[in-house]
Amino acid sequence: MADPLLVRIINTSLGVIGLIGNSIVVSVIFKVKFMHTLTNALICNQAVVDLLGSLFLILTSNIAVSGPLLGTSGYHIVCHLWLSKFFVWSCFTASTVNLVSLTCERYVAIVYPFKYVTLYTRKSVAGMVVVTWLMGLILGVAYAAAGMTFENGQCSSTTSVGAQALNIILVVVQFFIPAILMVFLYSHMTVTLKRSAERIAAIAPTVSANLAQEDRDSSGATRSENAEQSLLRARRNVFKTLLLVFVTFLVCWMPAEVMFTMFNFGIDLSGVMHVVSVSLVATNSCVNPFIYALKYTPFQRGFLSLIGRKVQAEVGML
């Protein structure tokens, strides 16, 4: 069985990293004007959800409820909302829902660009943010209700058939359906971007030659790419960043969801493996800021702008 102190140290450390990293992401997107795009609004919401998840991870890991609980409604709430880690798992679930929203937004922008302006407005994105939080709360309540039982002053995991069936449904809804959907969407986006790159490459020499001649006539300088090439490059940057976020999501969530499914079929894999799987889920809430810092060009420029460096920020519609 894993050392409780070690588990506490791991969860607290991951929570602190997630708290700091996601706070930086929120600050950059909120304070830097050119970061105020619809895509970045969803990325900001992702960071807010992960920030709160990290905060609740720290609190639940360090504020313990010891001893038997009195059989009152107040302690029922403590059992189902605090000891079940309802707030932590609600945030983790909301993070998954928001990732699906981000993927769908990028899918429409890349595959159906002419429909994007109609489908994605400030109001529609605000609605997606609200749905993200509601889904997190609803699935969190279902998890807390199905996963914990309070009897004789003791709060413990329930193993009833009904609870196990509901848990399996939650795993399918919370992980497997989003994962399969996002695999399909990213696969289609990959094909579309490849075709766009091939089409632009075929016409680029002629266009570039014309632009170069125009620039020479006007200023003696040349431009290396036209507007369409620049737009494709920007979209590919966002696509690669979010694809890496999705792959990280799969790596971090898969072990925990598989183990949880096996547990509901009567196979107990508690101990070190359980701690590792849960720690991986917590890691998913703190790793995204590092991905943005390494791969997402607008975020890099926004961060440099925020800390006072003079960087010419030129971000078009993605």
- Which amino acid appears at position 139 of this protein? L
**In the prediction, which pLDDT does 206 show?**
53
pLDDT band at 141 (very low <50, low <70, confident <90, very high): confident
- Mean pLDDT, to the nearest integer, of 126-146? 88
DSSP assignment of 130-176 equals HHHHHHHHHHHHHHHHHHEEEETTEEEE---HHHHHHHHHHHIIIII
Please state which of the ranges 46-55, 158-167, 250-259 shows the lowest mean pLDDT.
158-167
Question: Per the structure block, which two tokens stand in for 142?
Answer: 């279902």
Q: Given this model, what pLDDT does residue 313 score?
A: 43
Q: Is 94 left (phi over 0), alpha (psi -120 to 50) or beta?
A: alpha
The CA distance from 79 to 9, in Å, is: 23
Helix, strand, coil % over all residues of the chain, rounded to 5: 80, 5, 15
For residue 201, the model assigns a pLDDT of 77
pLDDT at 269: 64
* Percent of the chain clearing pLDDT 90 (strictly above): 47
pLDDT at 309: 57
For residue range 161-205, list pLDDT tens digits in order: 777 777 788 888 889 999 999 999 999 999 999 888 888 777 755
The Cα–Cα gap between 287 and 252 comes to 10
Tell me the pLDDT of the chain averaged across its residues: 82
The better pLDDT of the pair 37, 216 is held by 37
Q: Give the pLDDT confidence of 95-134 residue by residue, as tens digits.
A: 999 999 999 999 999 999 999 999 999 999 999 999 999 9
Amino acid at 105: E
Give the distance, in angstroms, between the CA of residue 80 and the centroid of all CA atoms in the same chain. Answer: 25
**Separation of alpha carbons 86 and 77, rounded Å:** 11
Average pLDDT over residues 234-259: 91
Please indicate whether residue 115 or residue 4 has the higher confidence score (pLDDT).
115
Q: Does pLDDT of 258 surpass 80?
A: yes
Percent of the chain with pLDDT over 70: 78
The predicted structure's pLDDT at residue 47? 96
| Burial environment of residue 137 by CB neighbours within 10 A (0 to 12, 13 to 18, 19 or more) | middle
Tell me what pLDDT residue 24 has.
95
pLDDT of residue 219: 46
- Quick check: 36 pLDDT over 50? yes
Distance between CA atoms of 235 and 45, rounded to whole angstroms?
20
The closest of 130, 202, 141 to 166, measured between CA atoms, is 141
**For 263-287, what is each residue's pLDDT tens digit?**
777 676 666 777 788 889 889 989 9
Average pLDDT over residues 65-82: 66
